[in-house]
Amino acid sequence: MGSIKTVAVLGGSGHLGPTIVHELVAAGFIVTGIMRDTYPSRISFWPDRVTIKKVHYNLLHELEAAFQGQDAVVSVLARTAYDEQINAINAAVAAGVKRFIPSEYSVINLHKPPSGPGPALSAWKIHEMLDGKIKTIEHLEHTVQAAKDFTWTALSTGLIFDRVGGLSSAGDSGLGFISLRTKQAFVIDSGNEKFHVSTLAQVGRAVVGVLNHPERTANKYLSTASFNVSRIELIALVEEVTRTKIAIRRISWWEMEAAGFVQASTVSHMSAFGIFLSVYTSQDGVGNALSEEESANSLLGLPYEDLRSSVVSWLRREGAL
């Protein structure tokens, strides 16, 4: 496979897309943004050198035309956009695209979780809610068997640190568990279980790493991280850096899981997803830290980040320092 120079980013208007676009541009790739037909022709949070093409995501011929001349497609579509992502894969193959990176990111979805109570049940709910992402990987695995020059790479980057991976200035909503406003936090069980996390910038750098090493990353599901961390570690760092005492509320995994089922039945599946994901990543003994054997950081030439520096940067963005 030759080097990758031109990259189309599919979607990219959410919290993750702009960072991926900026990292790609900074790394020297020629980037084209493929947006829905309803978006404006110029997107203020993307670099001026990014070309914008607007298409109907459900029309295969429009996507195929937009992908012409592109070496790679990086999808940043929402997890609910399964049909559109399958359409994009088929269009990429027809357009002669060499590499497709699906909108995976987040937690590892490669294997079905075991059945049983407790965190296994939350894992099943996560698996169910991410069913579209799982089917996307299966479609890619099937597609490469027939498409000779087409390859794919999926990236699991853990929870997004900047967004909901650990910190929230707004309060105890979603996965954010530290509120700077109320000086309160909650932990599940002991709060000492480590999970793998990536900053937004690290996700972008991971994408760049894949495209810079097309041979070694072809047709693989890779996991990367900025660091492994526990809730208690994050709380302690916030207290140390801000010189503020954080009141900790403890909740058991089964109480948290029960709240998830209430949210799913009465409020919203998105809120429930965040709760189930909290149990899945933070319940004592669940084992969702990324081991050195599982990590693709070295494969991609991706250094780990410093936890303290990341916390300080977040606190500064939130106006707490």
Mean pLDDT of the residues in the chain: 87
Q: pTM for the complete prediction?
A: 0.91
What does the pLDDT look like over 112-146, one tens digit per residue? 554 444 455 677 777 777 888 888 999 999 999 99
Domain ranges of the chain: 6-112+129-159+198-225+288-302
One DSSP character per residue, 5-38 reads -EEEEEE--SSSHHHHHHHHHHTT-EEEEEEETT
The whole-number pLDDT of residue 160 equals 87
Q: CA 136 to CA 179: how far, in whole Å?
A: 36
Contact, 175 vs 274, CB < 8 A? yes
Q: With bands split at pLDDT 50, 70 and 90, how would you rate the model's confidence at 42?
A: low
Q: What is the pLDDT of residues 198-224, one digit of tens each?
A: 999 999 999 999 999 999 999 999 999
69: left (phi over 0), alpha (psi -120 to 50) or beta: left
Give the architecture (CATH level 2) of 6-112+129-159+198-225+288-302: 3-Layer(aba) Sandwich (3.40)
Single-letter residue type at 132: G
Residue range 234-276, pLDDT digits in tens: 999 999 999 999 999 999 988 988 888 888 887 666 778 888 8
